[in-house]
Every structure is written in C-alpha cells, then in structure tokens.
Structure 1
C-alpha cells in the first residue's frame, strides 16, 4: 500500500514538472496581450506587445475587455517616454550614436565645392520645388541630416494630396495615433504611476555599441547618397511604406514570430543612410543589442516592479516571443504567463 502511494506521489510530481517544463519549452508564437500571475504576485499584471507605427491602434478593437484590464492596473510600464521621444531623438543627434560619420569639412567647404555640376543641378531642382529646403545650402547642413529635411518635404506634399476631404482628416488622425503614446496618455489620465524600462544611459550605451560595428562613412559618400536619395526618394518611400504595411498586417494577425523577423528589417530601414551601407552581420548585431540585450536589462527590473503593483506593461511586440523574449523569461522565473486571447475564447 505504501509502495503504491509513493508511486502515485512521484507520478503526480512528475506530471507537475512536465506541465511547467512544457510551458517554458512551448515558445509563444501568437497573441499580443498576456496575463502574468503566480510566483507570489499580490495581483495579476498584463503584458501587451505594441506596434511603434501608425495603425497599431487598430489592435485594441480585437482585444476583449481592454478597458477593464487597463484600468484594473495601478502602474503603467513602458520602454521610454514616447511623448518626449522627439526631444530624445534630437539629443541623440549630438551624441556618440553618430560616430560612424566622419566630421563634416571645415566651414569653407560647402556643397558648391563638394558636389559635381550635375549633382548641384539635382540638389537645386529639389530646392526649387520647396523653397524651405534652401536652408540645406544656407546653413551648410551635412548630407546625412539634409536627407531628413527632404523626407519631411516629400511627406508634406503627400499629406496635402491625401487630405482632400473632411473624412480623410478624421481617418488620418485616428490612424496616425501611435499606440504607445495613446497608452501613455491613458495611463496619465487615470493617474497611474508611469515607469520607463529604458534609461537614457542604457539606450546611449546600446547605440554606441551598434555604431562601433558600422563602417565609417566619409562626407563624400554622404553627399553621393543625398543625391541618390533625391533621385530615388519616391521608390525608396514607396518600398518603406509597403514594408511598414506588411509589418502592420502581421502585427494585427498577432503572429509574434514573423513580426519579430520583419520588425528588425524595418528598424534599419528607418535610417535610410544606414540601410544603404550596413551588412547582414550588423543587422544581427543590432537585433542582439536592441531586442535580446534590452530584454535582459528589462528582466532585471520587471519582477520587482510587478511584485506588489498590478501593472500594465506595454513594449514592442518584437520583445515578446522567442527563447529570449519576455514571455519565456518570465516563465523561467516561475510566473504563469497566459495569452488573454485563449482566455477570451474559452
């Protein structure tokens, strides 16, 4: 009798271990909203994968009980303060994150003596279409930054062409709202404590680390690419828009594996100049630092943050899945992390 009882106890213990083991080995591949419980948490927390671009707001339509879940939390955890992101980007421009660029020539070197006659004609043609771009030559703005001015000019033209009716104005306003910004605004409206996972110092260290693997670009190469961009910006922007639409489609389908893969390609496409010169090795290094590296840093903070505070964590969906994703790392710490999609369908 005692032998039989011992066998039953060992069997049940084995089954329990297998359940926990299977939860860890079964890597998440679908779902954007996850419930975190167990491991002596006082109350559940939630993890949402976001999309850092236009259209991400649409996912809220497919998440049941989002409002009640969000308002049940008393703390909002995000990557960075997205509402102040433009200011952060401006600070980065003057930081070591641009160390892959050689110094711009001395002040007596201008576009007039750097560009060929043909290149000058191409630059003048785009300035003629938009007089505000004259600032590029007047201020002798280096080519890598001049590209951004031309991008904005091109987008302004496209926006003016699209906004031909009141309906378009309303729809574009909704579509252009970034999900991360909306959630942060919502958290402040409900007086939730807002916590950033990334410190400026940590982000700076990551950017500096990536820069060390990028080949040094001369100002002459920058100038060549500026002209290349002017001649091909319609094709480049069209490609990027198609790529972003593809990523958004995968995001709305809540496919974590494919989204992570495509998002890393998009991260480099954001910086047109870098996408022009980086290798596949640099892309892999960027993934390791921007995704895996940050996940590890965040996991040093999240357990303490959610220990006594019911939290709503919103980070890019690319950080959720995979062996080193947040879901799997939380499970390894004996948290129960369950997709709310499955909960809602049961």
Structure 2
C-alpha cells in the first residue's frame, strides 16, 4: 500500500512538472507581429512589439505586408500618446521622481563641505580635462544631477550612429526616428483613432509608486557615486552601448525570449545608483511593476478596445513574451494569437 501511494505521488509530481514544461514550451519565443482573432471580436486585430530607441525602425523592412496590415486597422493602441508624454515631461514640475533624494543644500560651499581632499582632486582633474564640467561646481549641481550632466556631455561628444531606415530614406529625421514615434505619425497620417493604455495620470502614479520604494540616499552615498562615475564613465558608457546594441540585435532578430533577458541587463545598468548601493531588490521590483503589473493593468482595457474595432496595438517588445506577457494573457482569455510570420509560412 505504501509503495502504491509513493508511485501515485511520484506520478502526480511528474504530471505537474510536465505541465509546467509544456506551458513553457507553448510560450511565444519569436516574432514581433501577432494576429488576434476569436473570443467574439468582430474583426482581426494585431499586436506588435516596438523598440523604444533608435535603430528599431529597420525591422519593418523584414516584415512583409506590414504597411498593408497597419492601414487595414481602424484604431491605433499605444502605451501613451507621445504628444501627451512630451507634455508630461515639460509640465510635470511637481513630480515626485526624486523623492528618494534629500533636499540639496544651496550654499556655494556644498562641494567643499561634502568632498574629501581625494574626491576634490578627482573632480578637479575631470573639470581640467573637460571645461564644460565646470558647470557642476558653478551651478552647484547635486551629485546625481552631475552624473546626468556628465553622461549627457559624453553622448553629445560621441559620433552619431546611423541606422538603416524604413524605405531607405535619405532624410536624417527618418533615419534616426524612434519606431514608436514613426507608428504614431502613421496613425495620424491615416486618421486612425488613437487609444492609449496609460494615461498621463496613470503613468505618473506608477512612476511615483516605483520611486516611493527607493531608499533615501545620504549625501555621502551621492558623492561616492558621482566620484565612481567620474572615474569610470567611459567604461560605463561603452558598456551601455554594448548592452543597447545587443538588445537591438535581438530585437531585429525578433527573439522575444533572449530580448527580455537582455532588457534585464540594460535595466540593471540604467539603475547604476541602486547597483552601486547593492540594492538589487529594488531593480527586481521596478522590472515587475514596469512589465508584469502594467501588462495586467492593460489587459483590463485591451479586450474592450478590440471587441468592436480592428486595432493595431503597439507596445514595447518586452511586454509580449513570457508567462505574464500580453500574448499568453490573451490566449488565456481564449483569443487566438498567432505570429503573422507563422501564418505566411503556412
């Protein structure tokens, strides 16, 4: 009897593991453009994964019939209307985005008081090499602002990368245009209705919620991070380009699985302050809130948006794959979600 019971338990464990394996195997791994049908919707809609930086627009050349599919839909659904996003950045001056920072002293002697002699020497050396960095002291930029300024100057001085463009246009504004912007411009061009998955208020609420989880930084930690960045910014900048280029390569290959893994590397690099402080837990929380929780929130809207309107949904490619990705969640609601590439091959 005992032997039989053990066999039953072992069999149930095997079924459970096998079910998880089958579920993982069924998760989408490749493709950026997906056709959505079934579950009572009147006409097909499409889900497309975008790339939020330069270079992604060239993927359109590898997707046959992309333009005809795009204009066949009546409604464009995006993360946020970019015209409103610009307004959010320029007008939201009361944002809590720096709520993890202490008020910065406004005295002229701030750096004199906070930096050790060795740190002052490192800052002086950096300013002597690049006169533009004098602004750090002249404007009394707090250390995290100084890091942003150094990063900006580094990017400004670097040569502009040129990327292949849709339709091989010679126009620089098209050659370097970000894919999300291009798609919204096309939606305006064809007079499509535009719906956003995040309103300004909803996105700001999410951003404030994420930042509320940041630990309060001491002035000492800020200064140490600034000095670390000054000493290593060329290596950090090179690593940033390496990570971004890998991400772009995987995007152009339409590899959803590896794309999300690489995005995690980029996120960790972009959160250098938290990595410097050894707070990897915050980075994991941020990723979960920006991807999984937003996916769950969007899925409360998408079924109603596509029910009666043929829609083209364009969101970051990182939102498509995985167990909590939009493709899997739509399938769990009994929609048929099939890669357009796979449909063509059939």
Is the pair's TM-score, using the shorter chain for normalization, greater than 0.5? yes
Residue 117 of structure 1 corresponds to 117
Matches within 5 A, 1:219-230: 219-230=219-230
Residue 70 of structure 1 corresponds to 70
Deviation readout 1:152-195 (Å, 9 max, x if unpaired): 111111127x79xxxxx969755532111111111111111122
Matches within 5 A, 1:278-293: 278-293=278-293
Structure 1 residues 253 and 199: alpha-carbon distance in aligned structure 2, compared to 1, 3 A threshold: same
Shift of 1:203: 2.1
Between 1:208-217 and 1:41-50, the stretch displaced more is 208-217
Shift of 1:149: 1.3
SS in 2 for 1:102: coil
TM score, norm. by length of structure 1:
0.83
Residues in 2 aligned to 1:132 and 1:91: alpha-carbon distance in whole angstroms: 27
Shift of 1:71: 0.7
CA contact (8 A) 1:101 1:217 kept: yes
Residues in 2 aligned to 1:280 and 1:273: alpha-carbon distance in whole angstroms: 10
Shift of 1:87: 4.8
The answer as to 2:241 corresponding to 1:216 is: no
Residue 187 of structure 1 corresponds to 187
Structure 1 residues 174 and 285: alpha-carbon distance in aligned structure 2, compared to 1, 3 A threshold: same
CA contact (8 A) 1:83 1:181 kept: no
Residues in 2 aligned to 1:246 and 1:31: alpha-carbon distance in whole angstroms: 17
Shift of 1:275: 3.7
The answer as to 2:159 corresponding to 1:159 is: yes
SS in 1 for 2:314: strand
Shift of 1:287: 2.1
Residue 254 of structure 1 corresponds to 254
CA contact (8 A) 2:327 2:337 kept: yes
Residue 272 of structure 1 corresponds to 272
Residue 14 of structure 1 corresponds to none
Deviation readout 1:68-89 (Å, 9 max, x if unpaired): 0011112111112335545534
SS in 2 for 1:97: coil
SS in 2 for 1:48: strand
Residues in 2 aligned to 1:196 and 1:111: alpha-carbon distance in whole angstroms: 44
Residues in 2 aligned to 1:222 and 1:309: alpha-carbon distance in whole angstroms: 50
Q: How many residues align?
A: 319
Shift of 1:201: 2.7
CA contact (8 A) 2:49 2:315 kept: yes
Matches within 5 A, 1:307-346: 307-346=307-346
Residues in 1 aligned to 2:88 and 2:175: alpha-carbon distance in whole angstroms: 24
Shift of 1:150: 1.1
Structure 1 residues 159 and 262: alpha-carbon distance in aligned structure 2, compared to 1, 3 A threshold: same
Between 1:61-70 and 1:217-226, the stretch displaced more is 217-226
SS in 1 for 2:338: strand
Residues in 1 aligned to 2:230 and 2:90: alpha-carbon distance in whole angstroms: 23
CA contact (8 A) 1:73 1:312 kept: yes
The answer as to 2:42 corresponding to 1:42 is: yes
SS in 2 for 1:217: coil
CA contact (8 A) 1:49 1:318 kept: yes
Structure 1 residues 283 and 337: alpha-carbon distance in aligned structure 2, compared to 1, 3 A threshold: same
Residues in 1 aligned to 2:85 and 2:147: alpha-carbon distance in whole angstroms: 20
